[in-house]
Amino acid sequence: MRPALAPGEKVAAALAWARRAYSTPGYQPLYGNGVTLPSGTVTFLFTDIEGSTRLLQELGDDYGQVVANHRRLLREVFQQAGGKEVDAQGDAFFYSFPRARDGVGAAVAGQRALAGHTWPQEAQVRVRMGLHTGEPIVGEEGYIGLDVVRAARICSAGHGGQILLSETTRALLGNELPSGVSVRDLGQQRLKDVQHEHVYELALEDSAQNFPPLKQAETEGRDDLSRRFEDKINRYVEQQLDKAFSSATDPGAPRSRRFPWRRSRKT
């Protein structure tokens, strides 16, 4: 029977497993789809459409066009900014950028592109975005590490149309803000898995939206997409901790490097 690990020991075990798994000689930092991902200091950008269930009910068959247009608009601006698409699941994106200002610029351009688009049935399509910068481990199946979890949690705490930054990304950004953008200090926020995180909001002058308080770790009554989005992250964390524990207690166990945000290899 496996002995219980304290939360801090689980995190340490996960990181130790990751370092061993991806320090193998000859291991190539390529994602499963053949895309070379930025390594070293990387800025992650997560996005997803707020209230997708409501939109599906309101728009019916037109919702498919909404998702397609949303993907096209964001892919165009993210790739122009030098972003690499790590994964896309339904109406959620996961991108990485080699520099914080590139990721921030992409997020701002993305929100402006979405706001300027004419949607079917004059629908209000709002996308939440969250960014965090860290030094993740890169393997052939993608990124691994708590920085990915932190970026996703920051995104899921926001509201449609909002861009949130971690304290690290804000510090690296400095005064290099996109035109017409200011920064709001939202203070310490209690996020699931990452505990307290100092969060900042990018405010766009051409957007008059006023957002409610961020969603805290204990928030209930979330929409269906929020629950699905968080479930993906929960599975990721649980798998990494389980791999770390299995590797530490059973040296002969296979080192699966699966990552839940991975796209299908089918074309």
Residue 261 lies in a domain: no
Question: How many structural domains is the chain composed of?
Answer: 1
Q: Which residue, among 199, 194, 159, 206, has the nearest Cα to 183 in the 3D structure? A: 199
Residue 256 lies in a domain: no
pTM: 0.72
Residue 67 lies in a domain: yes
Contacts of 237 (CB under 8 A, 6+ apart): 149, 193
Give the range of the structural domain holding residue 62, as residue numbers without chain letter: 7-249
Query: Any idea what the CATH number is for the domain that residue 120 is in?
Result: 3.30.70.1230
Residue 238 lies in a domain: yes
Residue 267 lies in a domain: no
Residue 46 lies in a domain: yes
Residue 1 lies in a domain: no
pLDDT in tens, 186-227: 999 988 777 788 999 999 988 767 888 898 765 444 445 445
CA neighbours closer than 13 Å in the CB half-sphere of residue 172? 19
pLDDT in tens, 63-117: 999 999 999 999 999 999 999 999 988 889 999 999 999 999 999 999 999 999 9
What are the structure tokens assigned to 225, written together? 């997409």
- Contact assessment for residue 192 and residue 217, using Cβ atoms and an 8 Å cutoff: yes
Average pLDDT on 136-141 reads: 80
Residue 134 lies in a domain: yes
Instruction: Tally Cβ neighbours within 10 Å of residue 235.
Output: 11
